[in-house]
Amino acid sequence: MSVRLTEELRAALSTPIPSLRTPFTADGQIDWAGVRAQVDFVIAGGAQTIMITWGDSLHSVLTDDEIAALAKVVVEHCAGRAKVIAADNMWATPKAVAFAEYCAQIGADLLMLLPPNWAASTTPDSIVTHFNACGVHLPTMVVTAFFNQGGVPPVSACMDVIGALHERADSVVAIKDDLLGELGVQICSTVRPEWVVVSGGLMRNHTFQAPWGVDGYLSLFMSFKPELAWKYFHAIQAGNYEAAWQEMRQVETPLMKYLGTVEGGFNAAVHGISELYGISSRHLRAPYHTLTDAQMEELADVLKGLGLG
């Protein structure tokens, strides 16, 4: 086991984990008060770790300086109340290393690396080198979204990379799996207990990996209804799968079905939910769509119908 995976860090990752959803003002600036409000809300809801991610945290519409500032604000406002996972922006190795050093300096606990892989231009060896160079500065985390840059390769090719990192990158302590399926099974069967396995996004993803051994999960509900996230998680820990399935059938599945119909998609909808709960603004930076007042009213009605209002 890597000495960087302390029992404290393992415990903090083996929980429902909220992702930071970067909010904006109506004129497209980062809403820093909203960022801090999200941090306070999820910690009040029991979050032991806050994850900044390339996707939910909207690195796709942030500048490099804003990505650095976001990590710093989250770390400083957490003030040790929760672990913080920073995330990079598909940078080449020199830039990623510089960002890793910066993250260590500001006090981030872990860095999720998403290396570039346009046209499948990397190799297992080059990815190991990338992680080792960044891992000089702080523990690192793999995310399987790396494999989804232009079509997911065969499971065997993905596992060649993960296996190489598991064997030769001592700084890696965790993996976030968004792809699941046979790859998710192989990951759980290969990297634990040396790495913590975090399922991406939903209860159903975590449940899929539960028979194979999984730790924490990235939780949508931690961002606005944390009691549901914990109710599900405690049911899984107790082996009460019927109770866990009930949460998915009655709440998560119908909610996700509706969110798939919202104009602007999941991203617009979850920012709308945050505003409805009085946490942070619905506004998004162009060209992303911000929900209209009428769309917010519809969203509020759906949440009320699911007992989430």
Token digits for 44?
């009040």
**Does the pLDDT value for residue 1 go beyond 50?**
no
pLDDT tens digit string along 36-78?
999 999 999 999 999 999 999 999 999 999 999 999 999 999 9
Nearest Cα to Cα of residue 218 among 8, 7, 21: 21
pLDDT of residue 90: 96
- Position 248 in a domain: no
Longest CA–CA span in the chain (Å) reads 53
Query: What are the CA-CA distances from residue 4 to residues 86, 171, 175, 216 (Å)?
Result: 16, 7, 14, 18
In order of 27, 232, 244, the CA distances from 145 in angstroms are: 30, 25, 26
Residue from 176, 171, 187, 248 nearest 218 by CA: 176
Cβ–Cβ < 8 Å for 19, 270 = no
Which pLDDT value is given to residue 151?
Answer: 82
Q: Can you give the pLDDT at residue 239?
A: 93
266 in a structural domain:
no
On the question of pLDDT at 99 being above 60, the answer is yes
Q: Is residue 165 included in any domain, yes or no?
A: yes
In a domain, 234, yes or no: no
Residue 159 lies in a domain: yes
pLDDT at 200 over 60: yes
Domain span holding position 107: 7-223
Q: How far is CA 6 from CA 81, 110, 142, 156, 196, in A?
A: 17, 12, 17, 30, 11
Which has the closest alpha carbon to 54: 71, 35, 33?
Answer: 71
Tell me what the pLDDT averaged over the chain comes to: 96
Contact 286, 28 (CB under 8 A): yes
CATH number of 90's domain: 3.20.20.70
Q: What is the pLDDT of residues 216-245, one digit of tens each?
A: 999 999 999 999 999 999 999 999 999 999
How many domains, in total, are found in the chain?
A: 1
- Say what the pLDDT of residue 104 is: 97
Q: What is the pLDDT of residue 150?
A: 79
Going by pLDDT thresholds of 50, 70 and 90, the confidence category of residue 3 is low
Within-domain flag for 35: yes
Query: pLDDT (tens digit, 9 = 90+) per residue, 110-141?
Result: 999 999 999 999 999 999 999 999 999 999 99
Q: Is the pLDDT of residue 161 over 70?
A: yes
| Block residue for tokens 């793999």 | 142
User: Is 49 contained in some domain?
Assistant: yes
**Is position 60 within any domain?**
yes
pLDDT at 14: 97
